[in-house]
Amino acid sequence: MTSPLKDSLALFELKKKAPPHEISASCDEIIKICPLDKKHGYGYWLRLVKKSGKSYNDILYLTGKAKGLDEKFNKCGFVVNQLKK
């Protein structure tokens, strides 16, 4: 006999959705440039990419532009500013 709590937890776990493929692939490209830390975790980049509405190709262009920046510039800050425009 299973408890009602375990049944509700199992139902909750089934309702979780994986992020859309394009958005998660965009986040993976950003993470190659900006390593994960406490503030900029995977969920932060998912929300930012989703809110910006940029496509995967736009993110590839953006990350390529960030890779070409001088060492004195913050690449993560550049990416964040471009996504929040």
Domain boundaries, the chain: 20-84
CA angle 53, 85, 18 (to 5 degrees): 30
Q: What pLDDT digit, counting tens, does each position of 1-58 carry?
A: 556 656 655 555 555 454 568 899 899 999 999 988 888 899 999 999 999 999 888 9
- Find all residues with CB under 8 Å of 14, minimum gap 6, and list them: none
Q: Sign of torsion, CA 43 68 78 36?
A: positive
Convert the pLDDT of each residue in 49-84 to its tens digit.
999 999 888 999 999 999 999 999 999 999 999 999
Q: Does the predicted TM-score (pTM) go above 0.85? A: no
